[in-house]
Amino acid sequence: MRIGELATRVGLSRDALRFYEQVGILTSERLANGYRDYPPEAVPWLEYVRTAQALGFSLAEIADHGEELSAAPDQAEALSALFADKIRIIDTRMAELAVLRVELTARVGTDCPLRKQPASVAGARAGRRSGFPG
């Protein structure tokens, strides 16, 4: 199918499809007239890509794992393993953000929020370093 038809069927722009092709998410054949020709399986693949993005996976992650998933003997098991890894990454990031929130909250309303806090405040946040010089 041509790019316009594929774009309509999956609800993406032609530019998005060209970009996906450029980064290796999607492939097409070129017809004699130069038009792109996409296989029918491009539709479910792009639906998967959009779902994966909605679940927090980057295009790079999708591209990295696409072939691995299609070659996996048990795709459900392989996807579950990827999801478990993503959950660990999210949990780590949430913990980092919680620490950052405490740091920022302690600095709100101080004379100079970028200045190092007194030792009593800093001691409460031991192990957390600020991204700004004191």
Q: Which domains does the chain have, with CATH numbers?
A: 3-71 (1.10.1660.10)
pLDDT of 110 strictly over 90: no
3-state secondary structure of 134: coil
Select the more confidently predicted residue: 63 or 10: 10
Q: Taking the complete model, does pTM exceed 0.85, yes or no?
A: no
Locus of tokens 């996976």: 57
The CA-CA-CA angle for residues 118, 98, 109, to 5°, reads 40
pLDDT reading at 87 higher than 60: yes
By the 10 Å C-beta count (0-12 exposed, 13-18 middle, 19+ buried), 114 is classed as exposed
Element (H, E) at 60: helix 59-71
Q: Structure tokens of 90?
A: 């999210």
Q: Percent of the chain, pLDDT > 70?
A: 87
Task: Pick 115 or 9 by higher pLDDT.
Answer: 9
The confidence band for 122, taking pLDDT boundaries of 50, 70 and 90, is low
How confident is the model over 18-58, as pLDDT tens digits?
A: 999 998 899 999 999 999 999 999 999 999 999 999 999 99
